[in-house]
Amino acid sequence: MQRLLLAAALVVLTVPGVAFGQLSATDAERCFQNPGACASSGAPAPAAAAPAATASRPAAPPDYTSVLQSPEPDRRKLQESLRTLDKYNGPIDGDLKSEASAKAITEWQKSHGYTQVGKLTPTEAVTLNNEAAKAPIRRLDPSTQTAAAAPPSNADLLKALQAKRAAARKAAEPKAEAAMQSLAKDVKAYVAADGKGAVGDEFADFAKWYADNKSAGRTIGDITPATDDYGQAKTGAATTAEVKLDVKQGDKNYGQCLLFAWVEATPRKNTQAFACDDIGAVEKWKSDQSLKSDWR
C-alpha cells in the first residue's frame, strides 16, 4: 500500500510545469488523466469562453419603391381598388404619386393601423387588392338616380339655331322693314320721274340698269321689295333688299331682280346694286362691311 502511494506521488511530480504541493487530490487526478488541462500555475485551465453573442442587425426600411415602380396596369388596379373601397375618386391613370392617390392610400392605411405615409409596401398592396376583391358590389337604386341627359341631336341643334335666328329676326324686323320700305319708295319715285332722283346718285349700278332698259325701249311696271338681310356693320346698321321689277317691252314682260345693299345714313353710304343671282358679289359686300346678321 505504501508503495502505491509513493508511485502516485512520483507521477504527480513528473507532470510538466506543475509544482508539487500546489494541487488538491482531485486536481491532481485531473492533471494526471489530462496533463494539457493544467496551467503552469498548477490549476486546471479555465473552460473556453463562450463566443460573444452576435449583435442584432437593424430592421430593413419599408419597401415603397417596388409598388411605385410597378407596371402601370398594377398601379391602375390599386387605384381601382381604392375607388371600390370609397377611398379614391380621381382618374384611373396609374399615378400613385398624385395628391389624390396619396391621400386615398393614407386614409386606407389609417383605417388598417398601418404607418400613414401615402405609399404602399408590396404586402399592403396585396392586402388592399384582396380587400377590394371581397367588397360587395353596390347596385344603384334607380329611384335615386337621375337619368343622364342624352346629348342633343343635330336636328335638335338645328331647331335651336332656327329658334334663335327667328327671335333675332323678330327683334330686328321693324328697323329692317322701315329701311326696306324707304328704299322701295325712292326706287318707285325714281322710275316715276323717268330716271331722276337721289336714289340714282346713291346706287350708280341701278341708274345704269334703268338707263339701259330705257334705251332698249322697255318700261318698268310693278316694283316689289323684300328684305334680304339686316344687321350691324362696322359703320352702322346695314340692309340688303331684293327688289323685283316687272320690265315690259311691247306685249312681253321680263321679270328682273336687283339686290340693293347699303349702310343706313343720309344719304345712304357704301351703296351697291347687284343682280339677285350674283351671290358671290353680295356675300363679298357683306364681308367687307363686317355685317353681323340679325336676319338670317
pLDDT tens digit sequence for 200-241? 999 999 999 999 999 999 999 999 999 999 999 999 999 999
**Position of cell 388592399?**
128
Q: What is the pLDDT of residue 220?
A: 94
Question: Residue 28 belongs to what domain range?
Answer: 9-43
Q: Which set of grid coordinates corresponds to residue 91? A: 382618374
In a domain, 151, yes or no: no
Q: Give pTM, 2 decimals.
A: 0.49
What is the phi/psi pair of residue 259, to 5°?
Answer: -110, 120
In a domain, 245, yes or no: yes
SS3 for 102?
helix
Say yes or no: 173 and 257 in one domain: yes
DSSP 234-259: TTEEEEEEEEEEEEEETTEEEEEEEE
In a domain, 129, yes or no: yes
Say yes or no: 207 and 258 in one domain: yes
In a domain, 141, yes or no: no
Say yes or no: 195 and 261 in one domain: yes
* Total domains in the fold of the chain: 3
Q: Residue 294 and residue 296: Cα distance in Å, rounded?
A: 6
Element (DSSP H or E) covering residue 287: helix 279-288
Say yes or no: 33 and 69 in one domain: no
What is the phi/psi pair of residue 220, to 5°?
Answer: -105, 130
Say yes or no: 175 and 76 in one domain: no
**Position of cell 357704301?**
270
Say yes or no: 35 and 91 in one domain: no
Question: Residues of the chain with pLDDT > 70: what percent?
Answer: 77
Q: What is the pLDDT of residue 34?
A: 59
Q: Residue 287 and residue 283: Cα distance in Å, rounded?
A: 6
Say yes or no: 196 and 101 in one domain: no
Residues 115-130: b if buried by 16+ CB within 10 A, e if exposed: eeebbbbeebbebbbe
Say yes or no: 102 and 190 in one domain: no
Last residue of a domain, one of 110, 134, 158: 134
In a domain, 88, yes or no: yes
Strand 252-263, strand 269-275: pairing: antiparallel
Strand 219-233, strand 236-249: pairing: antiparallel
Residues with Cβ within 8 Å of residue 181, at least 6 apart in sequence: 225
Q: What is the pLDDT of residue 250?
A: 87
Say yes or no: 122 and 197 in one domain: no
Which stretches of the chain drop beneath a pLDDT of 70?
1-55, 138-149
| Contact predicate 240/229, CB 8 Å | yes
Q: Residue 179 and residue 61: Cα distance in Å, rounded?
A: 86
In a domain, 123, yes or no: yes
Say yes or no: 75 and 39 in one domain: no
Last residue of a domain, one of 134, 159, 191: 134
Q: What is the pLDDT of residue 19?
A: 47
Q: What is the pLDDT of residue 155?
A: 87
Q: What is the pLDDT of residue 13?
A: 45
CB atoms within 10 A of CB 239: 27
